[in-house]
Amino acid sequence: MPATVDAEQIDRIVWNQHHDPFEILGPHMVQQDGQTVWAVRAYLPQAEKAWVVLPEEHKEVPMEPNHNPHFFECVLQVQDLANYQLKYVIGDHIHVIYDPYAFKTRAITDFDIHLFSEGNHHRIYEKLGAHFTEVEGVTGVYFAVWAPNARNASVLGDFNYWDGRKHQMRRLSNGIWDLFIPGLDIGTHYKYEIKNYDGHIYEKSDPYGFQQEIRPKTASIVTDLDSYAWQDADWMEKRRQTEPLTQPVSIYELHVGSWLHESSASPALRPDGSLEPVVTVAELKPGARFLTYRELADRLIPYVKELGFTHIELLPVAEHPFDGSWGYQVTGYYAVTSRYGTPEDFMYFVDQCHANGIGVIVDWVPGHFPKDGHGLAFFDGTHLYEHADPRKGEHKEWGTLVFNYGRNEVRNFLVANAIFWFEKYHIDGIRVDAVASMLYLNYFRKDGEWVANDYGGCEHIEAADFLRQVNHVLFTYFPGVLSIAEESTAWPMVSWPTYVGGLGFNLKWNMGWMHDMLDYFNMDPWFRQFHQNNVTFSIWYAFTENFMLALSHDEVVHGKSNMLGKMPGDEWQKFANLRCLYTYMFMHPGKKTLFMSMEFGQWSEWNVWGDLEWHLLEHQPHASLKHFMGKLNEFYRSEPALFTQDFDQAGFEWIDCSDTRHSVVAFIRRDKGSDDFVVVVCNFTPQPHSHYRVGVPESGYYRELFNSDARDFGGSNMGNLGGKWSEDWSFHNRPYSLDLTLPPLGVIVLKLTSEETQKALSGQ
């Protein structure tokens, strides 16, 4: 049989050096002896014999080696070669497959590539990555990867014995490589083999892969994210029509891997009868393992619901290689970590949260990524996702790399990733980690170790533009969600809309308030009289941004002690201080975040390798603090004055903030939709005060709605016997006043009762 392709072309295939193997392999119409015939070519490494199988004709046509013992071809005089198969022998095994190079249809279009190239393909994850599909009546998996500086790209997997010669991809425009491999199914393990022009080979997990193997393995797994039957349509519709900034937001922040472990190494049973993966934790006692997402749903949701939090915030659940990184060094941005189960298991967890009225927030890390060889670093043999200049592309303090936000395709990768978590997993918010590190080119860099922007400044203009883009797109698609910035500097308008020049977040962590309050509560109460400014300063800027008051995981690690250990005094005073701090926090304008273990007063710092100290709940002070936390959340959620005007000056009013001698402050919180208001009085010393007079704007009976010193909470039970009538005694520039008893290290909240209630009380 005369050869239909020359030796040089065959060598390019054999040595995996062809940018488009479809030009050589698969079916081709050629002229031979004056006739138009089909030439079928296949490169089958290790194969000894090969045939073309024509199923409709029940015919097998032998193929002949050409130039290389494993490069086969044959010539067929047939009208149609649709869905032919290749049969070949390796040792004692016979294989029959559909020829991948017979399927030339592309799932990614020129328009997709155009949008991706300009950074505006918001659902590029539906095109790039691995997708189970059907082409020309044959099922298989379509692979596509962006590697513009690669010489060649191949798909590796169990199906080809991880041999990059067997499934070579073709290069499309803008450096996208694709290949449809028939016969593969959901659950297939795979990677990409990327070869650069120097001949170096990199085996990479799929940047757009939806699932990865359990660490320490790193292969991606073909997954269908559309098979789960969601039950949260009512929740999603209500969220779409709700403005979250006028609602109570009280977030329970946790790290899934250290909230609680299962003590048995036996795998848990899923509802469908299959077994959960067993992921052991070497640093714990033998037999300990992580809870699965489904077990977490069964145990965490009732606990959070009992405590009254509105949301659960998860430290990053995107795939990461090292447990001790807390999830913040992400290698699989589109893959929920398999430590705790499958993507469908995580969907179940979110669905169950919504069924119980709890929103889900996920920490998102677009600021940096690790250098692990299977990840994004040096992806195609060049600095593709990161800056090539280490003065812009590396966080030396963290040992990580910085995204190149000026490259459209990289920015598109991240913008689409944010959309992905809301679209596929129905989450209700993201907390964007380390925003300050993104916004400043000199962040944690010494002079000479950073590069100024085009205007000579230290502001990272491309990163700021990226954040504006992601928030604009996010709220366009998903009104009613939360986008929270962990931003610790004075960068202006972080939580302002993009159309006025803001970064577009709708909440920003108030790091200043956190530091001021922890410094204040850490000092002996006698010294607090000299530091009243710590308490009052936050109100000066409270309405310049939409602030989130956060006591987070960062405050209970690295030698900082847990919350209870920060408090001065004996054990009783420590618990009283903590109740006082929490109550002031929940009365202060702004939404709230509290890290796990703070709700019951853990003594030890957070340990990522262990459980929380749940045994402490056997002791009354800790059980009482947990009970207090539930009642505080319940009270917070029941009083619109405490949340409807968090970001409006009209919602807050000082009564008195100048009583430094007693370390007492008093203020009013007002509701937006009514004339309701509450009076909050805080005593930050262990000295109770009787006959303490506080001015109020209206006359009547003020019921004491909440007292952090209540006996049920472990307090001394000092208070005002349920409430106080106002007196016609002008005080604090108010026409009326209350004669109050202030409990030690306590906060009391009072509310003017209705006229009907006052008449009934007067009648008594």
Q: Which residues pair with 659 in a beta bridge?
A: 664
Q: At 614, phi and psi to the nearest 5?
A: -65, -25
CA 93 – CA 70 distance, rounded (Å): 16
DSSP 100: G
The structure tokens listed for 276 are 């959960």
The identity of residue 678, as a single letter, is V
Q: Which residues contact 127 (CB under 8 A, 6 or more apart)?
A: 107, 108, 112, 116, 121, 144
Query: Catalytic pick from 262, 276, 344, 433?
Result: 433
Q: Which residues contact 454 (CB under 8 A, 6 or more apart)?
A: 461
Respond yes or no: is residue 639 known to be catalytic: no
Which two tokens mark 432? 């964007």
Structure-block tokens of residue 155:
């798909």
Q: Which amino acid is at 375?
A: G
422 in Cβ contact with 477 (< 8 Å): yes
DSSP state of 505: -
Upstream peptide bond of 216 is cis (omega within 30 degrees of 0) = yes
3-state secondary structure of 18: coil
C-alpha dihedral, 634 to 357 to 323 to 326, nearest 10°: -50
Give the pairing of strands 311-314 and 250-254. Answer: parallel
Nearest Cα to Cα of residue 565 among 573, 574, 557: 574
Dmax over CA atoms of the chain, in Å, equals 115
Count CA atoms closer than 13 A to 87's CA, side-chain side: 11
User: Which two tokens mark 722?
Assistant: 């349920």
Q: Answer whether 647's CB lies under 8 Å from 663's CB.
A: no
Q: In whole angstroms, give the CA distance from residue 707 to residue 688.
A: 13
Give the distance from CA 326 to its chain's centroid: 12
Helices 343-355, 293-307: axis angle to 10 degrees equals 20
Q: b/e for 721-752, b at 16 or more Cβ within 10 A?
A: eebbebeeeebbebebbbbbbbbbbbbbbbbb
DSSP 447-470: TTSS---TTS-SB-HHHHHHHHHH
DSSP state letters, 183-217: T--TT-EEEEEEE-TT--EEEE--TT-S-BPSTT-
Could you tell me which of 715, 749, 680, 689 has the C-alpha nearest to residue 573?
715
CA-closest candidate to residue 641, choices 697, 680, 682: 680
Task: Give the number of other Cβ atoms within 10 Å of residue 3's Cβ.
Answer: 12
Question: Are the C-beta atoms of residues 157 and 189 closer than 8 Å to each other?
Answer: yes
486 in catalytic set: yes
Q: What share of the chain is helix, strand, coil (3-state, %, to 5)?
A: 30, 30, 45
Name the catalytic one among 486, 516, 639, 646. 486
Instruction: Provide the terminal-to-terminal Cα distance of the chain, rounded to the nearest Å.
Output: 113
Residue 604 · residue 566 · CB < 8 Å:
no
Q: Are 158 and 217 in contact (CB under 8 A)?
A: no
User: Which residue matches tokens 């590796």?
Assistant: 156
Is residue 151 within 8 A of residue 201, CB to CB? The reply is no
Hey, what are 198's tokens? 């120097």
- C-alpha to C-alpha distance for 503 and 249, rounded to whole angstroms: 21
Residues with a catalytic annotation lie at 433, 486
